[in-house]
Amino acid sequence: MNRLLICRLLGLIALLIGGSMALSLPWALPLFGQTKHFEAASFFALLGSMATCGLVGGALMYVGRRGKGQTLYRREAIAVVGLSWLLATLLGALPFWLSETCIRIDDEGNRVRMGIADGIFESASGFSGTGATVLTNLEASADPDVPSLVPRAILFWRSQTHFLGGLGIMVLFVAILGMGSAGKALLLTEMPGPSQESAHARTQRAAATFAMIFVLLTAVLTLLLRLQGVSWFDALCHAFGTIATGGFSTHNDSVEHFHSVGVEMTITVFMILACTNFTLLYYLLLRRPGKLLGDLEFRVYLAVMAAVALMVILALRFDGHYDDQGHWTRYSLADSVRYGLFQVASIMTNTGFGTDDFDRWNSFSRGLLVLLMFVGGCAGSTSCSIKVIRHILFFKILWLELEQVFHPSVVRPLRLGDKPLEDPDIRKDVVMYFGVIVLIFVIGWMALIALEPDSTWIEAGQPAGDKLIDCASAVAATLNGVGPGLGIVGEAQNYAHFHWPGKFVLTWMMLLGRLEVFVLLVLFVPRFWRGR
Amino acid sequence: MNRLLICRLLGLIALLIGGSMALSLPWALPLFGQTKHFEAASFFALLGSMATCGLVGGALMYVGRRGKGQTLYRREAIAVVGLSWLLATLLGALPFWLSETCIRIDDEGNRVRMGIADGIFESASGFSGTGATVLTNLEASADPDVPSLVPRAILFWRSQTHFLGGLGIMVLFVAILGMGSAGKALLLTEMPGPSQESAHARTQRAAATFAMIFVLLTAVLTLLLRLQGVSWFDALCHAFGTIATGGFSTHNDSVEHFHSVGVEMTITVFMILACTNFTLLYYLLLRRPGKLLGDLEFRVYLAVMAAVALMVILALRFDGHYDDQGHWTRYSLADSVRYGLFQVASIMTNTGFGTDDFDRWNSFSRGLLVLLMFVGGCAGSTSCSIKVIRHILFFKILWLELEQVFHPSVVRPLRLGDKPLEDPDIRKDVVMYFGVIVLIFVIGWMALIALEPDSTWIEAGQPAGDKLIDCASAVAATLNGVGPGLGIVGEAQNYAHFHWPGKFVLTWMMLLGRLEVFVLLVLFVPRFWRGR
């Protein structure tokens, strides 16, 4: 294990994160109309965070200075990816801690400052593209005594962590690890390019292409939102949240705030694009849309989304939902389509934006949306969760297994389209991934139930009897990078009421889900660190 | 596919079921003090059922008369096992339908007769050893206007289906299919006997041994219960329910009725024994207890039960539960141990007897018990559910996988104790089983939520908001053969309030879980029935 190289690369990442904080600085100034006065506290908090990142990064670079120019092997790559996410989570929490960001106002009317667990939770949620938040009152409420609890510059940093995390996933994870033996079978579609290219050059080119597409999508979405009258601040923050399939908004009522079908449809299209295999999007840029339209995973992805959306729309139209006054009522067909489509796309792509409180929909829709959290988008995208390709392979394997029950000697190859998958381990790997996700879901669920006292529900004004299902939805929403769940963590609620042990559990869920479990788990295997 | 042989064997099973109904007949007579008057309706219902079984069995035997003496291959064995369970479920429902058994008294005070779905549900629950019931008022209630809704002879038949189902599993399933390539690796411990024995003779001897142990355990438990003052009727019925890990009781408040620590402890010990690998029990009978005590699965099984029991007991002692009046209160240490131990053993062995309403315990205990439903006992026993050995193998495979992430070239063999498991498919098979169980659980959950209207909860006086978790627990409790779940199907409730589509879904869950999914699923694969 080449620890010097790892230190050096982590140092580089710390410097990059520190440097990128400069983008959040201007929003503390009254230049862009986002704040009426100079937000001194958050300005200096960001400066302090940048200095800390610089110190940490410099120190790591200095320790690892002799690691320069050495080769990055598989084990080092895994260590860098895993550790860089942990490091980013800590560094990203600095602006929250140093500024006077508050999470809520307690019963006595006092502002509750962001604690250690809150900062780490919010930072992990940002970098992992989850979008679960502990913050309330992102903007001034109707009550004049309750101004915004979060400075604008901090709000921008929060959304910016989505951008950094999404970029990191596409470059660090998909490009470096996804090109390995295991990931290759899942990504399937090879990047177009010279076939004589070395593996190293191919990886570098893939990383660069993915980063380019990621930035391009963000830029285009920002412009499209701006053209529809959204301010630059909101347009940028929502573009960050959409393309990284994160879901942090700058408004208390998320995308509902804009009251614009156009904005909602634009964001829906880009959520869907962000969860499409970036290699296929690259083909689209090369004007070869056939690759995209003919891709099995992409077609199943759209088909599942359409089928679920149809079921939810029918449920909304013909069964109903609870309105603001708690009455059971029905939407018109137009509203059913509007809210149903957006919410299904938002949940399936693991973004988590909201235009309606889906926790007030009927049980069938709520259950379906929780299940949909476990589907996710395509491999090779910013989507978190299990991903469509694994579901396709799972059902194919199941079908082959059924035949093996009565014909044990007949062994058919696993096919995808017209290509047989030759890797003998792929069956075991795909099925194992389901098992591990369920195992982690179950462990997280029990840990959250055990650590979070029942009184949390009573304090939040929620029925305590919902603890089991609320905790299940909270773990599902964080493990799959969605954000909002049911009940106490529903669309109109957030994670502010949880205590630090519960937040700690959910923080791990977000990181485990984002890094597809194994990359983080192996860091705790002693043998991983031993030997050459 | 030799269909004549299948018909012949199914006919034999129908005749056996019909013949065994004779055992329930005497309880309709006032001979044993169980009923004060001659229960004519149920007596003739049983006679009619016997005649129907005889007709069906005779017809099947006649159709398949030329199948005599032919060889039973793997595919035919699977078909016989799967179809015989479906046939038994239908035939077993006859006494319920023909007698005037009622499931509940509705709001207007009218008795609700057992419908088609009710009879099938109750019969499937009995044969599969689930113990989920649609019947209320098994005995006269305190209200003099509400006598027992279920005749004694029918009550005996209901418990007897447990006995027949348990025997069937040990003989048909464990012995015939478990000795195949897939089951062998899970059962592991070879039956003692001459090593030169043919596979056929070995299977026959295993089946006979298992049946002998099953009957022996039932007889010993009946005697032990009788010695503690339980009537012959109750002793027999509860022995049937215990050894088949079923859970049908003859009293409204299940085992709590006896108010006897001795009875509870006796039943606990026999529930644990019934979920132990019967091969190991055979070694015990041969006075070689070392095999049992040294068995990894048995030790993990006891360790898991002890660990969960400890956690539940601590939660009962130091957190508390809701009492009859809805107040939050705590048990003494002695009561915590008494109720906690019995309930954990009852749930983990998938029996489902109750001595306390665990739905009023704290969320942690309730969540833990629902998870425990998925553990079950040892392979080669009457236990339903996933079984301990698969969990052991799953964690071993996971550990090996973790190393493969950073050392893809290192392949270590899967070991159990000191024996390496040489079957290359065992990893895939074990992990696949988890995936399939989760898949079926999820499909069952969504189907139940969609088919069962919200009004069911309101009619049953339960909060409608609990639908998601109640349905999840109902599917978990039936798929794993437990019986009681949470909320509307909790320990003090039952499945009477569900409508027929919901009961239909849950009936399939019981049968799928009992036959370890694949045996029943392949019956729906067209290719299974085609060709030689």
Banded pLDDT at B452 (limits 50, 70, 90): very high
Q: What is the mean pLDDT of chain B?
A: 89
Give mean pLDDT, residues B43-51: 96
Tell whether A314 is within 8 A of chain B (Cβ).
Answer: no
- pLDDT score, position A21: 96
At residue B142, the 3 state secondary structure works out as coil
| pLDDT tens readout for residues B204-222 | 788 888 899 999 999 999 9
User: Amino acid letter at A58?
Assistant: G
Examine the pLDDT at B121 and tell me if it is beyond 50: yes
Both structure tokens of A70: 């050495």
Tell whether A519 is within 8 A of chain B (Cβ).
Answer: yes
Interior angle at CA B326, CA B322 and CA B329, nearest 5:
40
- CA–CA distance, B33 with B140 (Å, rounded to integer): 15
The pLDDT profile of chain A, 532 residues, written as one tens digit per residue, is 788 989 999 999 999 999 999 999 999 998 877 778 888 899 999 999 999 999 999 999 999 988 877 777 778 888 888 999 999 999 999 999 999 888 888 878 788 888 999 999 999 999 999 999 999 888 877 777 667 888 899 999 999 999 999 999 888 766 666 555 445 555 555 667 666 667 677 777 888 888 999 999 999 999 999 999 999 999 999 999 999 999 999 998 899 999 999 999 999 999 999 999 998 999 999 999 988 898 999 999 999 999 999 999 999 999 999 988 889 999 999 999 999 999 999 999 999 999 999 999 999 999 999 999 999 999 888 988 999 999 999 999 888 888 887 777 777 788 877 777 766 677 778 888 899 999 999 999 999 999 999 888 988 888 877 899 999 999 999 999 999 999 899 888 889 889 999 999 999 999 999 988 888 888 888 888 886 5
Nearest in space to B384 (alpha carbons), one of B176, B226, B90, B169: B169
Please list the residues that pair with A105 across neighbouring strands: A111
Task: Spell out the residues 6+ positions from residue B313 whose beta carbon is closer than 8 angstroms to its own.
Answer: B336, B337, B340, B341
- CA–CA distance, B444 with A306 (Å, rounded to integer): 22
By CA distance, what is B79's nearest residue in A? A406
- Chain A to chain B, count of Cβ pairs less than 8 Å apart? 132
A529 vs B122, more confident = B122
- pLDDT score, position A191: 67
pTM, rounded to two decimals = 0.93
ipTM over 0.90: yes
Partners of A401 on chain B (C-beta within 8 Å) are 432, 518
| pLDDT tens readout for residues B136-169 | 888 877 777 667 888 889 999 999 999 999 999 8
**In this structure, are residues B456 and A458 in contact, taking their beta carbons and an 8 Å threshold?**
no
User: Amino acid letter at A339?
Assistant: Y
Cα dihedral B210, B212, B217, B218 in deg (nearest 10) = 110
R_g of chain A, CA atoms, integer Å: 23
Contact call for B446 and A364, based on CB within 8 A:
yes
Both structure tokens of A350: 């693991």
Tell whether A307 is within 8 A of chain B (Cβ).
Answer: no
Task: Spell out the residues 6+ positions from residue A171 whose beta carbon is closer than 8 angstroms to its own.
Answer: A207, A210, A211
- pLDDT score, position B181: 46
- pLDDT score, position B73: 78
Number of C-beta neighbours around residue A344 at 10 A: 26
Smallest Cβ–Cβ distance between B446 and the set A74, A368, A446 belongs to A368
Contact call for A408 and B486, based on CB within 8 A:
no
- CA–CA distance, B281 with B273 (Å, rounded to integer): 8
Interior angle at CA B445, CA B439 and CA B450, nearest 5:
130
Which residues 463-502 in chain B show a CB within 8 A of chain A? Answer: 463, 465-469, 471-472, 486
- CA–CA distance, B423 with B415 (Å, rounded to integer): 11
Banded pLDDT at B175 (limits 50, 70, 90): low
Number of C-beta neighbours around residue A130 at 10 A: 36
Both structure tokens of B430: 């074990």
By CA distance, what is A518's nearest residue in B? B402
- CA–CA distance, B441 with B43 (Å, rounded to integer): 39
Nearest in space to B88 (alpha carbons), one of B80, B99, B76: B80
Tell whether B147 is within 8 A of chain A (Cβ).
Answer: no
Smallest Cβ–Cβ distance between B468 and the set A363, A398, A435 belongs to A363
- CA–CA distance, A120 with A92 (Å, rounded to integer): 8
Contact call for B432 and A401, based on CB within 8 A:
yes
Tell whether B521 is within 8 A of chain A (Cβ).
Answer: yes
Both structure tokens of B105: 């008294």
Partners of A521 on chain B (C-beta within 8 Å) are 402
Give mean pLDDT, residues B425-438: 86
**DSSP character for B358?**
G
Tell whether A363 is within 8 A of chain B (Cβ).
Answer: yes
Tell whether A447 is within 8 A of chain B (Cβ).
Answer: no
Percent share of chain B, pLDDT over 70: 93
Smallest Cβ–Cβ distance between A75 and the set B406, B428, B472 belongs to B406
H-only helix segments in B191-332: 199-227, 232-243, 261-274, 278-285, 289-293, 296-318
What's the farthest any 2 CA atoms get from each other in chain A? 76
Sign of the Cα torsion A390, A392, A393, A397 reads: positive
Smallest Cβ–Cβ distance between A406 and the set B75, B364, B398 belongs to B75
Contact call for B394 and A454, based on CB within 8 A:
no
The percent of chain A in helix, strand and coil, each rounded to the nearest 5, is 65, 5, 30
- CA–CA distance, A201 with A221 (Å, rounded to integer): 30
Number of C-beta neighbours around residue B291 at 10 A: 18
Tell whether A182 is within 8 A of chain B (Cβ).
Answer: yes
Please list the residues that pair with A420 across neighbouring strands: A415
- CA–CA distance, A486 with A477 (Å, rounded to integer): 9
Please list the residues that pair with A210 across neighbouring strands: none
Nearest in space to A465 (alpha carbons), one of B118, B213, B363, B365: B363
Tell whether B4 is within 8 A of chain A (Cβ).
Answer: no
What distance in Å separates residue A423's CA from the closest CA in chain B? Answer: 13
Give mean pLDDT, residues B304-321: 95
DSSP, residue by residue, B308-353:
HHHHHHHHHHHT-EE-TTS-EE---HHHHHHHHHHHHHHHHTT---
